[in-house]
Structure 1
Amino acid sequence: MNIRFLRISCLLLLLLSGIGRGFGQESSVLEILNSTSLEGTRGMERLLGEVEMKHQSSLIFCDSAHFYRAENRARLFGNVRIQDIEDPITTTSAYAEYDGNTKVAKLRRNVVFTNQETTLYTDYLDYNRESNIATYFNKGRVVDSTNVLTSERGIYEVNIERITFRQDVVLVNPDYTMKTNDLIYLTIPKTAETKGLTNIISKAGYKLDAQKGSFYDTQQKQFRFFEGIVETEESRVKAEELFYDEEKAYYEGKEDVRVLNKERQVEVFGERGQYWEDRKYSLVHGNALVRKYFESDTLFMAADTLISHDSEADTAKYLLAFHSIKLTKTDLAGIADSLVYNYSDSSIRLFQDPVMWNQKSQISADSMVFFIANEELDRVYMKDKAFAIMTDTLLNHNQMKGRTMTGYFKEGQIETLDIDGNGESLYFALEADTLTQGINRILSANIKLTFQEGAIRKANFGIRPDGQFTPVQKIDEKISRLEGFQWRIEEKPDRTSIDAWRKPIEIDPDQENLFNEPDVRLEMPTEEQIQKKLGKPVLNPAKKKLIPDSGKVDF
């Protein structure tokens, strides 16, 4: 074979392969499309007036440019505009550097990056056209049709319409303002996700705080907070995971839920809860707990499930509790299967085997209702199988039973007890409160007993009472007990048993809030500035870095 022919064939193959690559790939060379004048010196071409360049699918406009053809890059000056032909992205600035090899544009001063309805304003932006990612630093502001977001640093991933904001992030919406330090915003669904501490103040004055981040749909106005608190003028809701729908004024919490009604001074706790703010209706279950705050005391109540309703109508202001009820206050304690607390008259109704203890007394019935006045037990009404037991100074058990009973209290102790229907009374006769003489047992349709420091001092009976006295020598267990007697003091709840059921972790009133941080930060002067102000020579002044003739600037 002819050696010359072989060499020509190889050369043609190489040439054809190069042409194939040229057609298969878009050119990465910066092209000059227009310029009023062109000057060349030291490997740099100066383009002056109405400069227009092209790189792949981007058109580049500016007042003047330094074009480094060998390095495939340019410095752009004055009214810089980079416009994407294929995507609706336009970037403007006062100055920029564009590298055709890396496809990175470094824009500086008055930078505006626009993508359809989303616009980014900053002074320092690096835009990678290869990955379609814009990165800003030293403050930036993003504006769309709904929100304005600002931060110290940010990354705009155009392909997935995601912007990541970091450090001193502020989101302003027509209805609220949010502050955090780490936020991810999706521009198409307009959702915001934060990491760490997040604080919000709504236009209506609501405060929404999250210690462990949040998720917010800005169009649907739905929040999800982690270790979050929502506080209004009338209420405060907290949970480890808290969902809030602003349009429906609806809350839903999971884990360590707590709902405070500020007007009623009632706080409800549980594992899961729902709250409808307009209806002032809440449902809480899972080791539920109620705290009713008084000026000098607090009523605690534990239950499986709690329902609270505080509407405008007085008759509809109540708290319902179901199953395994335990309640305690300084001067009383009680148990029952279910309970109704009426806010309007401060009455508490207990159902299904309720038992109440008040200092030296125990009362029980099929159902009962007691009333609190001036933060103390005022009176109690017991219906069906009513049974009262009071201990005297010698720890004897004085007993009363009947169809219904009404007890009246003074300074936390029972003062009088009215028994109506099938009344029976058994009380120990004492001598000087130190010696038992015997037992008085009386049957009467109606009985009224008066007490002093828990001991019976006076008894009034209805028509023709049937009484019997048993001396101390003949007293045995049968004689000393009325039928149905049960001293259930071991079931009496106290703070220890309540805390074992649920012990709330108190909210720290001084926890960090970004709205408490000053918006203006004072910067300390440098040592050089201090010395210059004092008129002293600066030791070891830093040498200014000279820009090489090539005109390349490091950013």
Structure 2
Amino acid sequence: MLKNTLKYLAFIFPTLLLAGDLLAQTQPKTKFLEIQQADNLKNKGNVQRLLGNVFMTHQDILIYCDSANFIETENRAELFGHVRIKNPKDTVTSTSRYADYNGNTSLAKLRDNVVFTKSNTTLYTDFLDYNRQTGVADYFNSGKVVDSTNVLTSQKGKYDTQLEKITFTDNVILVNPEYTLKSNVLYYFTLPKVAETDGLTNIRSTKGDVLNAKKGSFYDTENKIFRFYEGDVENETSRVVGDELYYDEQEKYYEGTNNVSIFHKDRNLEIFGDEGKYWEGKKYSEVYGNALVQKYFEADTMYMVADTLISQDSEIAQERHMLAFPNSRFIKGNMSGRSDSTVYTYSDSTIYLYGDPLLWNNKSQISADSIHFLIANENIDRAFLKNNSFAVTTDTVVNYNQIKGREMTGFFKDGDMHRLEVEGNGESLYFALENDTTVQGVNALLCGKIIMHFDDGNITSINHTINPEASFTPPHMITEENTQLKGFTWRIEERPSMEMIMTWRSPTEKDPNQKNLFDEPNIRIPFPDEDEIEKIINESVTEKDKSDFKVKQK
């Protein structure tokens, strides 16, 4: 019997020891502050005065300082001189010249030269409250956060060490070697080094780039990727705007949606649309959706619209162009036109119209299989029409004077056509008027070359060479057949107007008085007292409870 009992005890005793170890490991650590070391200890009432090389613990927290007042009945200690509070498990360490540590609430009030470190992120301030239970540290009178990439400062801040998130408010400034950012609300995620802002945000780069957002932004500070809401990016050569704007600084690539505009400063040319992409290195842009281009001249502006607008600039002159398609229409001064597609070559300021092209100038309509015209000294200088060229001009009583031929060249002065030359198979119909009111008859002419002169949109004379064949039809013999050349069509209803252009897209005007945080001085507020801080904390908690309640209600 005794032998069996010994065998049982030999079996059960190690099991009991193991169970005891497991039970000890699962027991909660004491919530009370404990003194581990001090060179000197003095008691004064309910306060224990610790002097020299003080070392205390609270659960997993290690506390070091030069001296301390330990109020055991309140489970609280006042720490003085070279204060260091460390938690090895969550890598949070703080140093300061003074701290008030409450063991019941795990709240440390750190004051004077506070340095708060979590992994590779360090917070500097003079007034910090750190709640060890929630892992949240608050500062109320200016703080600075430094990591390997950025330096962030603000008047107020909340560092959630569990979420690795810092909320900066009031006069927020983010600085790295390439950019300086200003905002009034900024959320910084310490591990990916990503910053998000609410409201007005302004950024300046060391290269002179300017980035702005009215409704907040996203900024990947390591990969240099930006996203702006109602934002714009401007540099020496361009300005890009969009309701939502994406910018990859390393790739020099922009992408915008809604109310997009791309301004090419070298060309004094701006493109608007629903969506846009711009490759700054290639100086190449694409804009889609009710696209509009405005080419700014000193005297006026040329407007062009299409579904898609593409602009290509280049060091090679022959590669510089703009393409508008399909259903392209334009207006410049008294000249307007339409075609399926339009090409504007920057090198020689020539505009090519393809696909059923039409031009209107004052009272004239011009058509051909292909048309191109030259802009010189910021005005239309000449228009070239090839194959099936046809020109129609109305007179004072709305008759249609017509001229057609294989090729035509129109010459312009101050934006108006003053001469039209026809080469090859020239035909014309011209109504003779008396006192600009009464039709005297119709002049018909067949000739290899015809030259027509205009004044204020009206035909003043017609010259012809190379064996002309002329005929005259008196008024009583005029019929529809002898008043229209073959191929005649009057398509004035297709002529673009400024009302049509603005209905297609009306660009949003830039606010000249737009607020910019770089125009405001940096502000430093005075230290709040304990009552003020307590009030701020309570208000912050109240607002958070309200927002949480609203979320739950939804």
**TM-score (structure 1 length as normaliser):** 0.89
How far apart, in 2, do the equivalents of 1:88 and 1:330 lie? 70
Amino acid at match of 1:347: T
Q: Which sections of structure 2, spanning at least 5 residues, go unmatched?
A: 1-19, 532-554
Match in the other structure for 2:173: 170
Matched, 1:408 2:393: no
1:387/1:25 CA distance change after superposition, 3 Å: same
How far apart, CA to CA, are the structure 2 residues paired with 1:455 and 1:170? Answer: 66
Does residue 64 of the first structure (1) align with residue 67 of the second (2)? yes
Aligned residue in 1 for 2:263: 260
Describe the superposition over 1:219-258 as per-residue Cα deviations: whole angstroms up to 9, x where unpaired: 1101011111001111100001100010111000111110
| Runs of 5+ consecutive residues of structure 1 not aligned to the other structure | 1-16, 524-543, 546-555
CA distance in 1, matches of 2:249, 2:26: 56
In the alignment, which residue of structure 1 is the partner of 2:368?
A: 365
Listed as ranges, the matches of 1:421-440 within 5 Å are 421-440=424-443
Q: Which residue of 1 aligns with 2:83?
A: 80
Q: C-alpha displacement at 1:198, in angstroms? A: 0.5
1:150 aligns to 2:150 (yes or no): no
Structure 1 runs of 4+ with >4 Å offset: 19-23, 520-523
Structure 2 residue aligned with 1:33, among 30, 33, 36? 36
Measured after TM superposition, the shift of residue 111 of structure 1 is 0.3
| Aligned pairs (5 A) from 1:290-329 | 290-329=293-332
Alignment of 1:394 onto 2:393: no
Q: Does the 8 Å contact 2:171/2:183 carry over to 1?
A: yes
Determine helix, strand or coil for the equivalent of 2:327. strand
Residue in 1 that maps onto 2:109: 106
What CA distance in whole angstroms lies between the structure 2 residues aligned with 1:142 and 1:373?
Answer: 58
Q: 2:123 & 2:416 partners in 1: Cα distance?
A: 72
Matching residue's letter, 2:275: R
Q: Deviations over 1:264-284 (max 9, x none)?
A: 111000111100011110001
Per the alignment, residue 130 of structure 1 pairs with: 133
Q: Distance in 2 between matches of 1:200 and 1:274?
A: 21
User: Larger deviation: 50-59 or 82-91?
Assistant: 82-91
8 Å CA contact 2:53–2:65 kept in 1: the answer is yes
In the other structure, the counterpart of 1:356 is 359
Work out the CA distance in 2 between the residues paired with 1:329 and 1:252.
Answer: 29
Query: Which amino acid in structure 2 is aligned with residue 507 of structure 1?
Result: K
The equivalent position to 2:182 in structure 1, one of 173, 179, 189, is: 179
Q: Structure 1 residues 281-290 or 32-41, which shifts more?
A: 32-41
> In the alignment, is residue 288 of structure 1 matched against residue 291 of structure 2?
yes
Offset of 1:59 from its aligned partner? 1.0
User: 1:338 corresponds to which residue?
Assistant: 341
Quote how far apart the aligned CAs of 1:435 are.
Answer: 2.9
- Where does residue 379 of structure 2 map in the other structure? 376
Distance change in 2, residues 1:38/1:371 (3 Å): same
Cα 1:410–1:434 shift into 2, 3 Å:
same
Cα separation, partners in 2 of 1:68 and 1:522, compared to 1, 3 Å: closer
1:202: how far off?
Answer: 0.7
The equivalent residue for 1:491 is: 494
Moved more, 324-333 or 221-230: 324-333
Tell me how far 1:520 sits from its aligned partner.
4.7
Do 1:250 and 1:276's aligned partners in 2 also have CA atoms closer than 8 Å? Answer: yes
The structural deviation recorded for 1:21 is: 8.9
Answer with 472-481 or 447-456: which moved more: 447-456
**Which stretch has the larger CA shift, 85-94 or 254-263?**
85-94
Residue in structure 2 matched with residue 550 of structure 1 by the alignment: none
Give the SS at the match of 2:522.
coil
Are the aligned partners of 2:86 and 2:93 in contact in 1 as well (CA < 8 Å)? Answer: yes
Correspondent of 1:442 among 428, 445, 449: 445
Does structure 2 retain, via aligned residues, the 8 Å contact 1:239–1:257? yes
Partner residue, 2:548: none
Which residue does the alignment assign to 1:537? none
Shift of 1:456: 2.6
Q: Secondary structure, in 3 states, of the residue corresponding to 2:73? A: coil
Q: Kindly indicate whether the alpha-carbon contact (under 8 Å) linking 2:448 and 2:467 is maintained by their aligned counterparts in 1.
A: no
> Counterparts of 1:456-475 in structure 2 under 5 Å?
456-475=459-478
Aligned-partner residue type, residue 70 of structure 2: F
Q: Deviations over 1:357-399 (max 9, x none)?
A: 1111111111100122233221100111111011223332110
1:527-546 alignment runs, 5 A limit: none
Q: CA deviation at 1:126?
A: 0.9
Asked if the contact 1:331–1:376 (Cα under 8 Å) also holds between the matched residues in 2, the reply is no
TM-score normalised per structure 2: 0.89
Q: Which has the higher contact order (CA 8 A, sep 6+)?
A: 2
Letter matched to residue 443 of structure 1? L
- Paired residue secondary structure (1:497): helix
Instruction: Give the partner amino acid of 1:196.
Output: G
Cα drift, residue 471 of structure 1: 1.0
2:536 aligned partner: none
Spell out the pairing of 1:38-53 with structure 2 (5 A cutoff). 38-53=41-56
| Equivalent residue, structure 2, for 1:269 | 272
When the two chains are superposed, the root-mean-square deviation of aligned CA atoms in Å is 1.9
Number of residue-to-residue matches in the alignment? 509
Which has the higher mean CA deviation after the structures are superposed, 25-34 or 81-90?
Answer: 81-90
User: Deviation at 1:288?
Assistant: 0.4
Q: Deviations over 1:270-301 (max 9, x none)?
A: 11110001111000110100111111211111
Residue 195 of structure 1 aligns to a residue whose secondary structure is: strand
The answer to whether the Cα contact below 8 Å between 1:226 and 1:242 also exists between their aligned partners in 2 is yes
Matched residue type, 2:138: T
Query: Alignment identity in percent?
Result: 54
Answer yes or no: is the 8 Å Cα contact 1:331–1:377 preserved in 2.
no
CA contact (8 A) 1:107 1:124 kept: yes
Q: Counterparts of 1:255 and 1:467 in 2: how far apart (Å)?
A: 59
Q: Secondary structure at the match of 2:282?
A: coil
